[in-house]
Amino acid sequence: MGLSTTVDMYKHELLRALAIGDQAALDERLPEIRSADLAEILEHLIEDDDELKTALELLQQLPVERQASVIGHLPGDEQEKVSDAIKDSQLVRILDRMGSDERADIFKVLGDDRKEALLRRMAHREREALKRLASYEEGTAGALMTSDYVAIPADLTVAKAMMRVRQTAPDAETVYQLYVIDDQGRLAGTMSLRQLMVARPQALIDDLMIRDVIKISVDVDQEEVARMVARYDLLALPVVDADQRLVGIVTHDDVMDVVESEATEDIHKGMSIGQLEDGVSRVPLWSLYRKRVTWLVLLVFGNLFSGAGIAHFEDTIAAQVTLVFFLPLLIGSGGNAGAQAATLMVRGMATGDVGVKDWGKLLGRELLVAGSLGLTMALAVAPIGMIRAGEAVAIVVAISMVCIVLFGSLLGMCLPFVLDRLGWDPATASAPLVTTLIDASGVIIYFSIATAILSGVG
């Protein structure tokens, strides 16, 4: 993890003060440093230099609220190491100061014995809430949400609701959106604090609230959560269970992290890399190997088709060895154009810009664009063919280029739709897969054209 200059400077100051026992310097500096930055310093200490002890000493210098906030900003691995090193009584106090979603995240990384020990130290209600939040599957709305929201009944007046907001303010994740629930705990409406502030104090929430609430089900994928929040510009999205009971909210800041990590996942998938559980600089080597090897080996066998194609045309090649000169160029170009087309489609589908219904229209567009690309590249390569191997080979190479680029682009464009239809993730149409498929087809197209044209010539 690369530290920014400011954070790096802070790190060195803090370590120096800690080493020489300069308490005054620590007391002056620590309150200035934001929790996110302090978390980065701790992370750096733990992962790179294995200075867990120093990290813990630094943490001890902070008030417990700040400890909770800093630990909340750490990545999973470092949360685990730090939590394991803190004793039960202190950890319970820290967990108590965390938002319910962060508390559940920490809880998930602990061992079973530790979980039991901590739960015994909690009040019944807290215990049940924590167990419930920690039980949702990673990557769903449930795993992302917090239970620290402001819920009010519909029969409150505006003035009373304002008082409720003031009371809840210290604990709630956000007080800017209120959720109205009925006596069954079902989500009945919502109101923003802004609306509340400009309303008549005696007015009833029931008369003011918006009844048509944008909400999401607890088991929905986090990608869909992010899409809803972005589409409707929400501060928070309420999460309901199968009985429409409000069980939590997902706030905008948590969604922002999802958007970034989903984009990373998509980028990695586009290069046939499995989902990493952490950043590339932190993930264990064995895991990095495993996430990369599967497709690489599968594609080795895919590439055998190209070899088989070549073997089939061995006579044509032997008659005119110079054809091999243009082979990497032709299949490489087809692969590149095809990978571009696939990438455009996969990303378009991921962001919702492209739907399966648009297939026909996009096919027509791709036909035009890829045709033009193929012609341009044929023009670029034809003179080289002329110089190197004469007119006949130049014609073969130029025609092959147009055909291969056109075929590759259409294959790259269609594959994500086909995969989607089969119920697969369109992102499986990664660049390496598309390239491998086009390589094999390119060999056949090239040597078929060569055999057809050159057998007449030779």
Choice between 26 and 165, CB closer to its own copies: 165
Decide: is 372 part of the binding site for its own copies (CB under 8 A).
yes
The pair phi, psi for residue 388, each rounded to 5°, is -80, -40
Q: Which of 14, 354, 414, 419 binds its own copies (CB under 8 A)?
A: 354
Query: Interface residues for its own copies in 93-112 (CB under 8 A)?
Result: none
Structure-token pair, residue 88: 């039960």
Q: Which of 271, 363, 418, 457 binds its own copies (CB under 8 A)?
A: 271
Shortest Cβ 219–its own copies spacing (Å): 19
Decide: is 113 part of the binding site for its own copies (CB under 8 A).
no
Decide: is 225 part of the binding site for its own copies (CB under 8 A).
no
The piece of 57-65, 113-121, 137-145, 233-241 that touches its own copies (CB under 8 A) is 233-241
Query: Angle 120-125-126 (CA atoms, 0-180°, nearest 5)?
Result: 65
Choice between 26 and 118, CB closer to its own copies: 26
Q: Which of 25, 369, 386, 392 binds its own copies (CB under 8 A)?
A: 369
Q: Which of 149, 179, 326, 417 binds its own copies (CB under 8 A)?
A: 326
The piece of 181-189, 216-224, 373-381, 445-453 that touches its own copies (CB under 8 A) is 373-381
Which residue in the block uniquely carries the two structure tokens 């791709």? Answer: 366
Q: Which of 45, 110, 344, 450 binds its own copies (CB under 8 A)?
A: 344
What single letter denotes the amino acid at residue 103? R
Q: Which of 325, 392, 444, 448 binds its own copies (CB under 8 A)?
A: 325
The piece of 57-65, 127-135, 140-148, 377-385 that touches its own copies (CB under 8 A) is 377-385
Choice between 179 and 326, CB closer to its own copies: 326
Shortest Cβ 143–its own copies spacing (Å): 18
How far apart CA 70 and CA 91 sit, in angstroms, is 13
Query: Interface residues for its own copies in 114-173 (CB under 8 A)?
Result: 165-166, 169-170
Q: Which of 85, 203, 384, 410 binds its own copies (CB under 8 A)?
A: 384
Decide: is 208 part of the binding site for its own copies (CB under 8 A).
no
Q: Which of 28, 138, 224, 260 binds its own copies (CB under 8 A)?
A: 260
Decide: is 443 part of the binding site for its own copies (CB under 8 A).
yes
Q: Which of 223, 332, 451, 453 binds its own copies (CB under 8 A)?
A: 332
Q: Which of 12, 63, 128, 311 binds its own copies (CB under 8 A)?
A: 311
* # residues near its own copies by CB under 8 A: 115
Q: Which of 71, 191, 299, 394 binds its own copies (CB under 8 A)?
A: 299
Decide: is 23 part of the binding site for its own copies (CB under 8 A).
no
Of 404, 386, 411, the closest CA to residue 327 belongs to 404
Q: Which of 436, 441, 447, 450 binds its own copies (CB under 8 A)?
A: 436
Crossing angle of helices 327-350 and 252-269, rounded to 10°: 160
Decide: is 210 part of the binding site for its own copies (CB under 8 A).
no
The piece of 81-89, 116-124, 225-233, 238-246 that touches its own copies (CB under 8 A) is 225-233
Choice between 110 and 416, CB closer to its own copies: 416
Decide: is 449 part of the binding site for its own copies (CB under 8 A).
no
Choice between 90 and 376, CB closer to its own copies: 376
Phi-psi region of 390 (alpha: psi -120 to 50; beta: other; left: phi over 0): left
